[in-house]
Amino acid sequence: MRCPVRADARAVAGALAPAAPAWLLPWPVLAWVLWLLVLLAAPVARSQAVDSPPGAIPLQLAAGTQQASGWPALRMLRAPAGQGPADARAAWLRRADFAVPATPSGNLGPYDGSTWLHLPLQLAVDAPATWFLALDYALLHRVQVSVLDATGRLQQTVELGALVAHRQRPMPTRALVAPLQLRPGELQHVILRIETPTGQLVEPMLLQPGAL
């Protein structure tokens, strides 16, 4: 006849025993747990890929910044003529497709199509609102400069390029210069579209008026 006290003791000991480590679980159970973790992590990974493209670290503009090169923060997307994003907003929506230029610094090389550039900017709360974006290579035929806020809403568009008459340019200079009205304390996105048969020597510079 079984002793009820011993049976109860064995039941209590079994309840208090530590759970088996994950690596001791039967393989079908462990495989199911791993598959469930992958499914749970996938939406988070997709969201991060859209909201924060790999390597897209905004260019920091502080109160004391007089000039800053946009090249370290620049990302590029190229599309054949007649293809690719329709406008700056469409390009912003595809910013996860932009990549670090695999070219020497400041030189994107020639391209027979549209070159889209994404330059995220983060202004300090005490930074000036007025900045100038300058491209020293004046032979670029057409350059469209657009500023979008953190939600992708278009704030400003400026047309530059060698094919734009001097009287129609925002600044009467040979260099391509666009005045930008930015928002201190906020993240903003500069989207450039370049179309030119020439080489694309492009290093966007953010300047204060005294550095022009």
- C-alpha distances (whole Å) from 61 to each of 51, 190, 206 are 21, 13, 9
End-to-end CA distance of the chain: 100
- The mean pLDDT of 162-171, rounded to a whole number, is 88
Q: What is the mean pLDDT of residues 196-211?
A: 93
Q: What is the pLDDT of residues 178-188, one digit of tens each?
A: 999 999 999 99
Using CA atoms of 140, 112, 205, 166 in order, give the dihedral in degrees to the nearest 10.
20
Q: Where are the alpha helices (DSSP H) in the chain?
A: 4-16, 27-51, 88-93
User: CA–CA separation, 20 vs 201, rounded Å?
Assistant: 62
Task: Pick the most confident of 14-18, 37-41, 168-172.
Answer: 168-172
User: What mean pLDDT comes out for the span 39-43?
Assistant: 47
Check pLDDT > 50 for residue 45: no
